[in-house]
Structure 1
Amino acid sequence: MSSPTDPFSAQTVPGAASAPGTGAAPGIAVEATGVSKRFGATTALAEVGISIVTGETHALVGRNGAGKSTLVSILTGLQRPDSGEVRFGGEPAPPLGDRNGWRRRVACVYQKSTIIPTLSVAENLFLNRQTERGPISWRKLRRRAGDLLEEFGLAVDPGGLAGDLNVEERQLVEIARALSTGARFIVLDEPTAQLDGIAIERLFERLRGLASAGVTLLFISHHLQEVYQVCDTVTVLRDARWVLTRPVAELPRGELVEAMTGEAVGLTTGNERPPPPPPADAPVVLRTDGLRLADAFHDVTLAVRAGELVGVTGSGSSGKVSLAESISGLRRADAGTVRVGDRVVPPGSVPGALAAGIGTVPQDRHREGLIPLLSIAENATLPISDRFGPAGVIVPRRRDAAASQMIERYDILAPGPDAPVNSLSGGNAQKVVLARALSTDPRVLVLINPTAGVDVRSKESLLGAVRDAADAGTAVLMISDELDDLRGCDRVLVMFHGQVTRELAPGWADADVVAAVEGVAARESAAPEGAEQ
């Protein structure tokens, strides 16, 4: 519930009286009718329509490649439709070249942040609006930014580097920037993909406050529980076409999944079958001893056996991501050791981790997982490029043959191995990252939120491939905030304030995980005061 001091309550949202094309009376905030878009031989949208009521939170869902991104690019003025029209509050959308007109009507907070990390928070808030005329007054700009941040209740230094903000703060700065232009229609593209459970709840409270203030939200998510938690209406796209628009409360989840996939399926992700337990005498492949990283985790000792899939979860401050990055060489731990078999992995060395037999799916596929200007084949075969020709010379035919096998094995929807990886949908791009991690036949596979931002079918495919790797003898450590990801694990470790505080066997209840993540189990199981430690 929004309180009177809620920074996103109706009293504090700027531009409420003067936003163009909406007006005070409830009505249709934005409407697209008969929208079609083609890119060469590919039909991205075919006669798609959507109508969003002022002040509602409207979900847009569909599998990767369904047309969601193309529709958003048209609703935000980045693309011109081949046919059809977009209207805001009953008025035609401005011409594509009128960027100020579009900014006053609509803004998008993308899954991939548009915050420029090397600029200050103030510069990001007023990007291209630093001054109305004449030279920039940096003192006035910081003061304007400070006033805006105070209005939104954000305890952020306007003069500080935006790159120092955490994910939640970056999102709020982007929302504040959007509303400061007068926009009353905001598109949120996978806003929870990089947030933990507590931050997600805070975001949802803010979204409810915005909606109560008359701000219209288009919410894009692959997590159906979020659609039911925060949205009023849902529109489904499938294969570039509109399928349905229904009030969320009137649409059973099974029907929603069927609308997205075109198949009568249950609400499973393909990993609910009881995992076969690893052999009792399976050797320990991955071991950490007393691993510590200041302000992240301390004294973490764990072991993963060959063929075992171990899940790790916890809040954003639990240290789980930093632990995974330290094991895989992306971070350098302050103390402790990581071993693969009898081999000590050099700290803070990705090449050292690869040489020891560790494959990794990093948290952010855009920044750490892919080289966007290279092809699928080049990305997927990077760790094994020395296998495709003599003396380090790559024979493209050999590389492409190997990549084609990966495309088939991991169900990557792409025209071929030469396709640029940045042309893929999120789910298929993540499959390329997983294919590369498994290309070396690693003894250990470390995954960090591997299903973030992917659709239900891609999630099924990814988790199935992870289970197959474990069944083939790979020791798997999977860090995830998603309960569905964790259900297929042989056991789940919960981290709280930098330590592993609980281990859950298969069959755990959701409440057990939530309680442990919030620290309830940790506090209850703590030794009484004065007891021997």
Structure 2
Amino acid sequence: MSTPLAEARGVVKRYGPTTALADGHLTVLPGESHALVGRNGAGKSTLVRILTGLEAPDEGTVRFDGDLAPPLADRDAWRRKVACVYQHPTVVPELTVAENLFINRQPGRRGFISWRRLRTEAARLLDTWDVRVDPGARTADLKVEDRQMVEIARALSFGARFIILDEPTAQLDNREIERLFTRMRALQDSGVTFLFISHHLQEVYEVCQTVTVLRDARWITTAPVADLPRQALVEAMAGETIAEQAERLSTVAAPGPVLLDVHGLTSPAYEDVDLTVRRGEVVGLAGSSASGKIELAESFTGLHTPTGGTARIDGAPLPFGDVQAALQAGVGFVPRDRHDEGLVFGMSIGDNATLGVLDRLGRFGFVGTDRKRGVATALIERLDIHAEGPDQPVSDLSGGNAQKVVMARALASDPRLLVLVNPTAGVDVKSKESLLARVDSAREDGTAVLVVSDELDDLRRCDRVLVLFHGRVVAEHPVGWRDHELIASIEGVDHG
């Protein structure tokens, strides 16, 4: 076997009490495309930060071509070893392609840049790696796939032959993805090695020769892609086999009449979506970060305006693009980020919890203080928020209790449709159970609930789960689904 181009052995990384990577192993051979896969939280991002020299491991070693990795401070040495092309651009959009390729190392003399040499060397570099982009083009005007190739060419110009592609297809359509893969294969033939990270497992089988699986911050397996059936790969990621899985059927009350009725809903993030949610039914939306699931859910709350299709709530058109109108129509909402979207940290618990129902707490624009305090106190008790009272600043609360305040505000209006986006993100186990118990209570009250989450535990409370892939609903899993089945749908394994 040839010397690995990149190798990580026994890598451990801790952040305070949290172990982000407990046992990281990776062996990438020269000239291959090597896939790194795992569910969210598996440790992939931590391993990438260590492989690119952004952080040092607490334990373990990283080697390139058999030699120990450079010191973190020696950035030039790292650039000669490895580069990462991220889902979001690291180029300067207002600069030209040539300027981005040679930023901070422009050719010239005595402090003056030779623009002619800059354009000539940029053209030569792009030609060497068959990147067909105008060196004088403004980078912001490039298509995503061309911008990625410019970033790859820039990395290769430093001498690096090991390129990490982090979710490179997330913003590409099918035709662009195929062009990217064609370029990857051509670069492999020229001696470039790739570490390919993707949530779409069918892409692993299209473009990679070897795959490494991480799960729960640990290395699970490394195998040739051709020797690892898709079902086995999904099982390695999920941590269970079919034989080991217990049936998770639960007794579900007969759902009521349809409350949310959606036909042909279309936007830049999703396409031709049909779905229904009945009274007393909990429906999950699952998919990768680029699936369109969050944008779809947020459309029902008034945050986005679809370009086509219809949505009705109790037979009446659901107002799009107007959050206040959606609230008046009976939609309650827990947004995906409580810090940026869910809470006003300069206000009290009571103020935050009642923000959406102030019109019910007084007349002629005046809010009754005693009435607001009473409503807030009842919500604190209902959600089991650990606080001194409604006047306590919400900024004093733990993450779990702060999320309960966001849930309390969503429930304060007695919504007919409750939309929850990542409702248990960043909370402790006890708070998570408390929040999910509110989902059960809403179901019992006859509320229609839509749960969007990356956490399988959140989705287990659902009567059924719809899976989005590249903006389309591609699968529906009734209650009792197994982890490997849902993950297979999310990763695109079972639908071509």
Q: Secondary structure at the match of 1:174?
A: helix
Q: Report the equivalent of 1:231.
A: 208
Q: Report the equivalent of 2:322.
A: 349
Contact map agreement 1:221 1:227 (CA 8 A) in 2: yes
Which runs of no fewer than 5 residues in structure 2 stay unpaired?
356-375, 381-388, 408-419, 480-491
For the pair 1:77 / 2:53, whether they are aligned, the reply is yes
Deviations 1:210-251 (A, max 9, x none): 222221111223333333332222223334333332222223
Task: Note closer, same or farther for the CA distance 1:119–1:106 as it changes in structure 2 (3 Å cut).
Answer: same
Deviations 1:355-413 (A, max 9, x none): 54557899xxxxxx5477899998xx999573567699648559843636989x96656
Task: Note closer, same or farther for the CA distance 1:127–1:446 as it changes in structure 2 (3 Å cut).
Answer: farther
Deviation at 1:258, TM superposition (A): 4.1
Deviations 1:324-358 (A, max 9, x none): 87666455568998654465555543454455455
Q: Report the equivalent of 1:38.
A: 14
For the pair 1:29 / 2:2, whether they are aligned, the reply is no
**C-alpha separation between the residues in 2 aligned to 1:159 and 1:67?**
37
Match of 2:138 among 160, 178, 184: 160
Which runs of no fewer than 5 residues in structure 1 stay unpaired?
1-24, 363-368, 419-427, 452-457, 471-475, 491-509, 515-533
**C-alpha separation between the residues in 1 aligned to 2:231 and 2:47?**
25
Q: Secondary structure at the match of 2:83?
A: strand
Q: Report the equivalent of 1:529.
A: none
**C-alpha separation between the residues in 2 aligned to 1:486 and 1:36?**
37
**C-alpha separation between the residues in 1 aligned to 2:153 and 2:48?**
20
Contact map agreement 2:101 2:150 (CA 8 A) in 1: yes
Q: Report the equivalent of 1:500.
A: none
Match of 1:251 among 222, 225, 228: 228
Q: Report the equivalent of 1:531.
A: none
Q: How many residues align?
A: 422
Task: Note closer, same or farther for the CA distance 1:383–1:87 as it changes in structure 2 (3 Å cut).
Answer: same
Q: Report the equivalent of 1:403.
A: 403
Task: Note closer, same or farther for the CA distance 1:202–1:350 as it changes in structure 2 (3 Å cut).
Answer: farther
Q: Report the equivalent of 1:20.
A: none
Matches within 5 A, 1:383-462: 386=355, 394=394, 396=396, 400-401=400-401, 403=403, 412=425, 414-415=427-428, 445=450, 458=455, 460-461=456-457
Match of 2:477 among 478, 488, 502: 488
Task: Note closer, same or farther for the CA distance 1:339–1:250 as it changes in structure 2 (3 Å cut).
Answer: closer
Match of 1:97 among 70, 73, 90: 73
**C-alpha separation between the residues in 2 aligned to 1:181 and 1:462?**
45
**C-alpha separation between the residues in 2 aligned to 1:399 and 1:238?**
25
Contact map agreement 2:286 2:467 (CA 8 A) in 1: yes
**C-alpha separation between the residues in 2 aligned to 1:266 and 1:168?**
42
**C-alpha separation between the residues in 2 aligned to 1:234 and 1:153?**
27
Q: Secondary structure at the match of 1:486?
A: strand
Deviation at 1:184, TM superposition (A): 0.5
Contact map agreement 1:358 1:442 (CA 8 A) in 2: no
Matches within 5 A, 1:69-218: 69-117=45-93, 119-131=95-107, 134-136=111-113, 141=118, 144-145=121-122, 148-149=125-126, 152-155=130-133, 158-162=136-140, 164-218=141-195
Deviation at 1:209, TM superposition (A): 2.1
Deviation at 1:193, TM superposition (A): 3.1
Deviations 1:401-437 (A, max 9, x none): 3636989x9665655799xxxxxxxxx9xx99xx9xx
Q: Secondary structure at the match of 1:183?
A: coil
Contact map agreement 1:103 1:183 (CA 8 A) in 2: yes
Structure 1 range deviating more: 145-154 or 301-310:
301-310
Deviations 1:10-29 (A, max 9, x none): xxxxxxxxxxxxxxx96421
Task: Note closer, same or farther for the CA distance 1:145–1:69 as it changes in structure 2 (3 Å cut).
Answer: same
Q: Which has the larger radius of gyration?
A: 2
Contact map agreement 1:446 1:478 (CA 8 A) in 2: no
Deviation at 1:166, TM superposition (A): 4.5
Task: Note closer, same or farther for the CA distance 1:157–1:292 as it changes in structure 2 (3 Å cut).
Answer: farther
Q: Report the equivalent of 1:285.
A: 260
Letter in 1 for 2:75: R
Deviation at 1:77, TM superposition (A): 0.9
Q: Report the equivalent of 1:53.
A: 29
**C-alpha separation between the residues in 1 aligned to 2:282 and 2:192?**
47
Q: Secondary structure at the match of 1:187?
A: strand
Structure 1 range deviating more: 319-328 or 150-159:
319-328
Q: Secondary structure at the match of 2:25?
A: strand
Matches within 5 A, 1:12-23: none
Contact map agreement 2:285 2:293 (CA 8 A) in 1: no
Letter in 2 for 1:45: L
Q: Secondary structure at the match of 1:488?
A: strand
Deviation at 1:71, TM superposition (A): 1.9
**C-alpha separation between the residues in 1 aligned to 2:24 and 2:266?**
53
**C-alpha separation between the residues in 2 aligned to 1:70 and 1:511?**
25
Deviations 1:88-134 (A, max 9, x none): 21233222111111112101122344344455544444343345662
Instruction: Calculate percent identity across the aligned residue pairs.
Output: 46
Deviation at 1:297, TM superposition (A): 11
**C-alpha separation between the residues in 1 aligned to 2:197 and 2:269?**
31
**C-alpha separation between the residues in 2 aligned to 1:259 and 1:353?**
42
Contact map agreement 2:211 2:224 (CA 8 A) in 1: yes
**C-alpha separation between the residues in 1 aligned to 2:28 and 2:94?**
36
Contact map agreement 2:282 2:450 (CA 8 A) in 1: no
**C-alpha separation between the residues in 2 aligned to 1:248 and 1:200?**
19
Contact map agreement 2:283 2:450 (CA 8 A) in 1: no
Contact map agreement 2:10 2:24 (CA 8 A) in 1: yes
Matches within 5 A, 1:440-519: 445=450, 458=455, 460-461=456-457, 463-464=459-460, 467-468=462-463, 480-481=469-470, 486-488=475-477
Contact map agreement 1:234 1:246 (CA 8 A) in 2: yes
Contact map agreement 1:311 1:480 (CA 8 A) in 2: no
